[in-house]
């Protein structure tokens, strides 16, 4: 969703665009007849989206002082004529909502547009329809005769196949576009990849940003369950939040055929989600819908949006997939609110964020002890805390994941977290692989599952080509993720493809010059290719950039006095004298580099007794351990890890 600045001359919404300079309204590139007063009303509404504009404000904008008319009747007539031009309805509004006796409000997502965009008038045009949700206050939904007339007209003009089928919650009208296989137009090509751009907060309350981001995440999760559809992950799409980027550019950067844009409006326990589907290559709006529901049924509401999108891109859901999308368990509204706050904190990707998320998710579980998603969120938090040194992180993650799956065994996130704990707590590679496979069966678009499967299971076992394939797949799903790219380079490094590793690290650092993992991996590359001086210089620079000037000065001094071997010896000595086992884990690699095998093996054994399993994950495959491979104790360590050669 791209906010529209006041200076924008052309504004797009749904399948329409308004040229504010010329006073023209166009629908899919074709001019729509609209009189001056309705267009002035439209301009006023577009200038202040989601604000309730009083009838007095409309009077001042539409008529100059000294004009004597029946203003109330004139305003009502003007709004009705605007709705006619847009094909909108007062009963079920997509664009202009009547707010009691107070006035009117613009409720549709909008963005800047290009009036010069080419439109092929011979291509069948999409039809704007609205799926009727269960009637709820304050947005009560009813059928209207004009929608049927519109549907019949669309059938005649654009050869659109209409179908009407009953639903247990409400009747639904679905428009399916007729794809022309002979025209060869861009719009006739199937949509096989999609990105859900960050939904816009229409609640006029910045404190609701966590809720809107949560809706974005959950919609991505729902769509990602469809095997035939590539869905880009959150990490990449959130980089477009609040940024005005042309859709063709987004399509190129993310490698997608279409995007979903939309907004979320929350009023108490009532939620309205609007969404529109747009092709990225032609910037053509295909479809737009509005959905209303109660917060306790918000999971079902999100599933309805996801199902409508999959129907629109002409994918056939299996009965199981369709059923899972349509039916989401009702949750306690307060528990769900706490869950979204927790996920928002988790997405900050910091120790403080994970700890805050744990507190919020535990509060959600206290409200709703059977809330499986909250347990899955806790598992994610504790796993990442474990990666960052928490002594109980993996133990807690395992318990949380098992509880989540006891409540709902279809949660890919929980299977993924459980897989990681099976590796780092038990060296259970077979059980972990089973969990990864189940996660990817449930959610083939879950980039984190592909990432961790390749990086934490396949790579350490020496299954290098499989690991690279999984990480490349993760990169396709999350193309702007720096950590996935860096770990892909590390997979090349482990496979002995140093040229590809270097090329990957350079690309990551070109986009993220200070990214610590890429710098760490690049240092390992320098060491393994004999460029030890470059590795030391990189370490000094990284310490300085990381806010550790004292360490940077110390490293520089040691290097100046004795070169890189002096730095290794100094680091090994410091590691062995450290009070915790983290230092011992670091010193093990330095001792191996120095050829001091007995000391290195002693450090490895000490590291493995503590919370150092992650540091020893690549014991079988990392070339830093090459000097140890003929040692019987090294082979014993591999047997302990169930990685016998």
State the pLDDT confidence band at 466, using cuts at 50, 70 and 90.
very high
Between these two residues, 277 and 507, which has the higher pLDDT value?
Answer: 507
* CA-based nearest residue to 42, from 2, 91, 4, 1: 4
DSSP code per residue over 490-529: HHHHHTT-HHHHHHHHHHHHHH-TT-HHHHHHHHHHHHHT
Q: What are 504's two structure tokens?
A: 């990957």
- pLDDT of 118 > 60? The answer is no
1 DSSP assignment: -
CATH number of 120-317: 3.40.50.10610
Q: What is the DSSP letter of 48?
A: S
Q: What percent of the chain has pLDDT over 70?
A: 79
> Does the pLDDT of residue 175 top 50, yes or no?
no
The confidence band for 450, taking pLDDT boundaries of 50, 70 and 90, is very high
pLDDT at 270: 80
Q: Which range scores top for mean pLDDT: 179-193, 378-392, 581-595?
A: 378-392
Per-residue pLDDT band for 70 (boundaries 50, 70, 90) equals: low
DSSP state of 90: S
The mean pLDDT value for 216-223 works out to: 81
Residue 578 has pLDDT above 70, yes or no: no
User: According to the model, what pLDDT value does residue 577 have?
Assistant: 66
Token pair 């702007």 is at which residue?
480
- Top pLDDT among 136 and 523 is at 523
Query: Which range, 391-400, 451-460, 542-551, is most confident?
Result: 451-460
Alpha-carbon span 596 to 599, nearest angstrom: 6
Check whether the bond before 441 is cis (ω within 30° of 0).
Answer: no
Cα–Cα distances (Å) from 550 to 39, 328, 545, 556, 580, in that order, read 65, 54, 12, 10, 21
Mean pLDDT of the 462-482 span: 94
The CATH number corresponding to 1-112 among 3.20.20.150, 1.10.10.10, 3.40.50.1820, 3.30.43.10 equals 1.10.10.10
Chain centre distance of CA 223: 11
* pLDDT given for residue 329 in this prediction: 58
Is residue 12 over pLDDT 60? yes
How many C-beta atoms lie closer than 10 Å to residue 499's C-beta? 9
CA angle 393, 396, 401 (to 5 degrees): 120
91 vs 144: CA distance, rounded Å: 8
Question: What pLDDT is attached to residue 122?
Answer: 28
End-to-end CA distance of the chain: give it in Å, rounded. 53
Residue 436 has pLDDT above 70, yes or no: yes
- pLDDT of 476 higher than 90: yes
Question: Which segments of the chain belong to CATH 1.10.10.10?
Answer: 1-112
396 φ, ψ to 5°?
-65, -40
If one compares 203 and 37, the residue with the highest pLDDT of the two is: 37
- CA-nearest of 431, 495, 484, 434 to 460 is 495
Residues 6+ apart with CB under 8 A from 164: 171, 172, 173
Check if the beta carbon of residue 192 is closer than 8 Å to that of residue 230: yes
Q: Are 527 and 626 in contact (CB under 8 A)?
A: no
Average pLDDT over residues 380-409: 91
Q: What is the mean pLDDT of residues 533-551?
A: 88
- Which helix or strand (DSSP H or E) is residue 106 part of? strand 103-106
Residue 143: the pLDDT is 34
Burial class of 307 by CB neighbour count within 10 A (0 to 12, 13 to 18, 19+)? buried
pLDDT digit string, tens, across residues 305-353? 777 776 766 565 565 555 555 445 567 888 888 888 888 888 777 888 8
Taking the C-alpha atoms of residue 276 and residue 15, their distance in angstroms, rounded to an integer, is: 9
**Among 109, 94, 96, residue whose Cα is nearest residue 141:** 94
Query: Between the ranges 91-105, 187-201, 330-344, 462-476, where is the mean pLDDT highest?
Result: 462-476
Kindly state the average pLDDT of the residues 9-36.
Answer: 84
| CATH 3.40.50.10610 location in the chain | 120-317
Q: How far is Cα 581 from Cα 598, in angstroms, rounded to an integer?
A: 17
Q: How far apart are CA 209 and CA 197, in angstroms?
A: 14
Tell me the whole-structure pTM to 2 decimals. Answer: 0.70
Q: Which residue has the tokens 């056939």?
A: 316
pLDDT at 116 over 60: no
Written as one string, the DSSP assignment of 239-274 is GGTT----HHHHHHHHT-SEEEEEEEEEETTEEEEE
Tokens representing 335? Answer: 């528990």
Pick the residue with more confidence: 154 or 241?
A: 241
**Residue 205 pLDDT > 90:** no
In order of 267, 451, 477, the CA distances from 468 in angstroms are 47, 10, 14
pLDDT at 169 over 60: no
Q: Which pLDDT does position 607 carry in this prediction?
A: 84
Coil, strand or helix: which one is 275?
strand
């Amino acid at each position: 969703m791209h906010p529209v600045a006041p200076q924008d001359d052309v504004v797009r919404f749904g399948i329409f665009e308004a040229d504010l300079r010329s006073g023209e309204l166009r629908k899919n590139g074709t001019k729509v007849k609209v009189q001056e007063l309705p267009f002035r009303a439209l301009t006023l509404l577009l200038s202040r989206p989601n604000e309730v504009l009083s009838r007095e404000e409309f009077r001042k904008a539409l008529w100059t002082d000294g004009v004597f008319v029946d203003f109330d009747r004139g305003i009502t007539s003007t709004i009705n004529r605007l709705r006619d031009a847009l094909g909108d309805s007062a009963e079920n509004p997509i664009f202009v909502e009547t707010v009691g006796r107070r006035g009117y409000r613009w409720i549709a997502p909008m963005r800047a547009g290009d009036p010069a965009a080419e439109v092929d008038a011979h291509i069948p045009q999409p039809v704007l329809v609205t799926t009727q949700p269960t009637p709820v206050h304050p947005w009560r939904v009813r059928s209207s005769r004009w929608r049927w007339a519109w549907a019949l007209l669309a059938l005649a003009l654009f050869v659109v196949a209409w179908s009407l089928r009953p639903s247990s919650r409400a009747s639904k009208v679905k428009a399916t576009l007729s794809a022309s296989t002979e025209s060869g137009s861009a719009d006739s090509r199937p949509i096989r990849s999609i990105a859900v751009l960050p939904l816009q907060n229409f609640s006029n309350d910045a404190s609701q940003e966590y809720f809107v981001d949560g809706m974005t995440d959950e919609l991505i999760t729902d769509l990602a369950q469809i095997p035939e559809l590539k869905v880009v992950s959150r990490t990449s799409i959130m980089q477009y939040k609040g940024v005005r980027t042309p859709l063709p550019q987004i399509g190129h950067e993310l490698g997608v055929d279409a995007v979903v844009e939309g907004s979320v409006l929350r009023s108490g326990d009532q939620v309205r989600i609007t969404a529109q589907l747009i092709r990225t290559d032609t910037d053509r709006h295909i479809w737009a819908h509005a959905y209303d529901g109660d917060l306790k049924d918000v999971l079902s509401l999100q599933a309805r949006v996801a199902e409508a999108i999959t129907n629109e891109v002409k994918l056939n859901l299996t009965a199981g997939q369709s059923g899972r999308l349509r039916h989401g368990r009702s949750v306690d509204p307060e528990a769900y609110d706490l869950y979204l706050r927790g996920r928002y904190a988790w997405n900050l990707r910091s120790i403080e964020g994970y700890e805050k998320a744990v507190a919020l998710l535990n509060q959600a579980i206290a409200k709703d002890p059977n809330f499986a998603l909250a347990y899955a969120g806790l598992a994610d938090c504790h796993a990442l805390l474990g990666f960052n040194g928490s002594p109980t992180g993996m133990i807690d993650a395992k318990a949380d994941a098992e509880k989540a799956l006891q409540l709902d065994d279809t949660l890919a996130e929980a299977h993924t977290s459980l897989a990681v704990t099976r590796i780092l707590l038990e060296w259970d590679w077979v059980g972990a692989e089973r969990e990864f496979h189940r996660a990817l069966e449930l959610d083939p678009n879950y980039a984190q599952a592909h990432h961790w499967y390749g990086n934490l299971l396949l790579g350490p076992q020496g299954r290098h080509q499989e690991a690279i394939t999984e990480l490349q797949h993760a990169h396709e799903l999350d193309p702007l993720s720096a950590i996935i790219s860096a770990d892909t380079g590390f997979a090349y490094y482990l496979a002995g493809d140093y040229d590809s590793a270097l090329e990957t690290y350079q690309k990551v650092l070109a986009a993220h010059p200070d990214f610590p993992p890429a710098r760490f991996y690049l240092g390992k590359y320098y060491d393994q290719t004999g460029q030890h001086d470059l590795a030391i210089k990189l370490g000094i620079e990284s310490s300085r950039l990381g806010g550790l000037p004292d360490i940077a000065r110390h490293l520089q001094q040691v290097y100046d006095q004795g070169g890189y071997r002096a730095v290794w010896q100094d680091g090994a000595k410091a590691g062995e004298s450290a009070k915790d086992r983290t230092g011992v884990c670091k010193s093990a690699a330095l001792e191996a580099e120095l050829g001091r095998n007995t000391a290195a093996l002693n450090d490895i054994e000490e590291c493995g007794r503590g919370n150092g399993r992650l540091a020893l994950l690549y014991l079988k495959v990392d070339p830093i351990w090459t000097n140890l491979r003929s040692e019987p104790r090294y082979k014993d360590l591999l047997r302990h890890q169930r990685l016998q050669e």
